[in-house]
Amino acid sequence: MASITIRNLDDTLKRRLRIRAAEHGRSMEEEAREILRLVVGEPAPPVNIAAAIRARVAGFGGADLDLPPREPMHEPPVLD
């Protein structure tokens, strides 16, 4: 395994890391590793937005919509 040293770390940031580590019951070093895993670990698979929306609204039931009749397309303009 590799090691990393972080120099010139802001005191406030170090304190927040220590508090966050304590809240999760981890050492500061393990908390930093976990943050790095979450941020730069394996990329998340792409999200199928249509499936996500469908799953989100599935509990509301369906909706019957009246579709307006289609009209013929207009002729495109002539550019001479």
**Residue whose token pair is 């010139």:** 8
Summarize the confidence of residues 10-27 as an average pLDDT: 96
Name the residue ranges covered by the structural domains of the chain: 11-57
The torsion angles phi and psi of 29, rounded to 5 degrees, stand at -65, -45
Q: Do the beta carbons of residue 31 and residue 24 sit within 8 Å?
A: yes
pLDDT of residue 43: 81
pLDDT of residue 76: 92
pLDDT of residue 25: 97
- 29-77 pLDDT, tens per residue? 999 999 999 999 888 788 899 999 988 888 888 778 899 999 999 999 9
* 25 Ramachandran zone, left/alpha/beta (phi>0; psi -120 to 50): left
Residue 11 has pLDDT above 90, yes or no: yes
Note the residue count of the chain: 80
